[in-house]
Chain A
Amino acid sequence: KNEVEQSPQNLTAQEGEFITINCSYSVGISALHWLQQHPGGGIVSLFMLSSGKKKHGRLIATINIQEKHSSLHITASHPRDSAVYICAVNAGGTSYGKLTFGQGTILTVHP
């Protein structure tokens, strides 16, 4: 079993829909990251969080430390949101910033 599991692996939505991507992890962490990978391959960091909730535009990330679970929500989805969304964690105790990655969720938003 992977230390970081994402669901679903593939997600198709119509423009305007509310989207949720889930991430569960099995290790103690110091931080959790949500990343966005564009079709060309480049990766952008969306959120880094260790507790609670963060919001940026139409994106919302939440984390429940006790349940070892995080969600990424996209409100009013748009075709430009189509990308791979990756959850990654900094395992607690590592000082060099090592990230353990989920396998990614492929999101396709149709007009």
Chain B
Amino acid sequence: DGGITQSPKYLFRKEGQNVTLSCEQNLNHDAMYWYRQDPGQGLRLIYYSQIVNDFQKGDIAEGYSVSREKKESFPLTVTSAQKNPTAFYLCASRMGPQPQHFGDGTRLSIL
């Protein structure tokens, strides 16, 4: 079955460390997205990519970085510059005007 795989499901980071969240899709979708979800708030867009080797900042890109070297992969790095990284992170992908498909998310916590 096609879908989006996010790993790991839970991730812990020490202060000052960079961590990378994985997002892989086998849906052959061109566009991919990273969202952050905080309690009581709507999802907010971090970065998005419409094609391989191209990506754009979303609304809250500071402290994050991404790459899109392959169509199926869109990893998100949470850098030490992100001062409040504890959140639930969701990856999504989309083909054309169709609805976005979402992964199951990664919950990041600071030790």
Contact = CB atoms under 8 A, between A and B. Distances in A.
Contacts of A45: 99-102
A102 B42 contact: yes
A88 B45 CA distance: 12
B58 A98 contact: yes
Q: How large is the interface on A (under 10, 10 to 19, 20 to 34, 35 or more residues)?
A: 20 to 34
A99 B45 contact: yes
Contacts of B107: 41
A2 B56 contact: no
Nearest to A101: B42
B31 interface: yes
A44 B56 CA distance: 25
Interface in A97-111: 97-104
B104 A96 contact: no
Interface string A1-41: 01010000000000000000000000000010101000011
A52 interface: no
Contact of A98 (B42, B45, B104): B45
Given A42-B103, A48-B99, A101 B48 contact: no
B102 A42 contact: yes
Contacts of B48: 96-98
A42 B100 contact: no
A83 interface: no
A98 B49 CA distance: 11
B75 to A, nearest CB: 19
Contacts of B44: 101
A86 interface: yes
21 contacts: A33-B99, A33-B100, A41-B90, A41-B104, A41-B105, A43-B90, A44-B102, A45-B99, A45-B102, A86-B42, A86-B43, A96-B48, A96-B56, A97-B31, A97-B48, A97-B94, A97-B100, A98-B48, A101-B42, A103-B41, A103-B42
The 5 tightest CB contacts between A and B, nearest first, are: A101-B42, A43-B102, A41-B105, A42-B104, A45-B99
